[in-house]
Amino acid sequence: MKAVLSVNYNAEHQITHAAVMQTGLRRHGWTVEYSPHDRPTPPGADMVVCWSVKHTRAWDWRKETGGPVLVMERAALQPRTEYVSLGFNGLAGRGEYCKARDGGLRWRTCFEHLQKPWKEPGDGYALIMGQVIGDAALWGVDFRAWAHNRAVELRALGHRVFYRHHPESLRRRDSWRPSLALPLSGGLASSLEGAALVVTYNSTSAVESVLAGVPTVTCDRGSMAWPVTTHAVPADPIRPGRAAWAHDLAWHCFTPAEIESGLAWDHLRELAPCYA
C-alpha cells in the first residue's frame, strides 16, 4: 500500500510530523512518498496524509478516487502541542476517529486530571469564545455576525456577556468584539473560572470548557464537544455524563513517539480495515 504525505515545506511542524508518520507507516509495511501540498497527488496513492484541511490537492484526490485522507492537527486535549489529533476525511466533529476500546484506561492514565465536576447553577458571566477569521473551521461563516447575534441573545436573557479573543487574533491585531460584550483577558483556564455559560461556534475551547465543568453551547457540528453541549443560546444548559465522550477523545490524539512507533496506526486502521 502507498501513502502520500502532502506537506507544506514552509511549515516546520508539518515536516517534523510527516517524518514521524512516515516511520510509523513503514513499520506497518506501507510505501511512503512525499508530495508538495500545492501539487496534484502522485498516481498510485492508496491514502493521503496531510496537516489540517487546507491542502486542497488532498481533497481533490479524495473527490476523484474516494480514497481516505488522514488528517493531522493539534490535539483537542491539553497539552495540545504534545499530542497530535489523527482522524480520517475531515477535522474535529467532521472527521472519523477511533473509539475507545479499553474501558477508559487511556483517558484515566493520560487525561482524567483535566476533568472537573460540573458547576452548579449560580452567579457567573456568559463567555463568547472568539475564533480566527479566515480559519478553515469558519469557512462560509460570517463569524462576526454570529458573535453579535449571540451577544444580543445572551443580554436579552439577562446575562453579563464577555468576549474572549482568540490569541491568534490578538497577534494579528484584530481587536474586534461584539458591541454588547466586554473584553476578557487572561488565560483560558482563568476565564473559565468565572463563567456560568460558554458559547462557541465550533472552537476547540469548548472541549476545555466542558472538561472545566462549564455548561457550553456549540453552534456547529464541527465542534468536538457537540455531543455534550446544547446548540442554541435560549436552550437550558445541560450537564450530561461525559465519560464515553472523554474516553473516545483520548483515542483521537497520539504523541509523536506513538505515531513513530506504529502504535497510532494499530488503532487508526480499525477505521480503514482494507488498508491494514
Give 219-255 pLDDT, tens digit per residue.
Answer: 999 999 999 999 999 889 999 999 999 999 999 999 9
**0.75 cut: is pTM over it?**
yes
Residue 274: predicted pLDDT: 53
Q: Say if CB 72 and CB 91 are below 8 A apart.
A: no
For cell 490578538, the residue is 170
Instruction: Extract the residue ranges of the chain whose pLDDT is less than 50.
Output: 276
Domains of the chain, each with CATH number or no CATH: 2-100+251-275 (3.40.50), 116-241 (3.40.50.2000)
244 three-state secondary structure: helix
Residue type, 207: V
Residue 275: predicted pLDDT: 55
Q: Could you give the count of Cα atoms lying within 13 Å of 52 in the half-sphere of its Cβ? A: 13
Residues 6+ apart with CB under 8 A from 237: 121, 197, 215, 217, 230
Residue 252: predicted pLDDT: 96
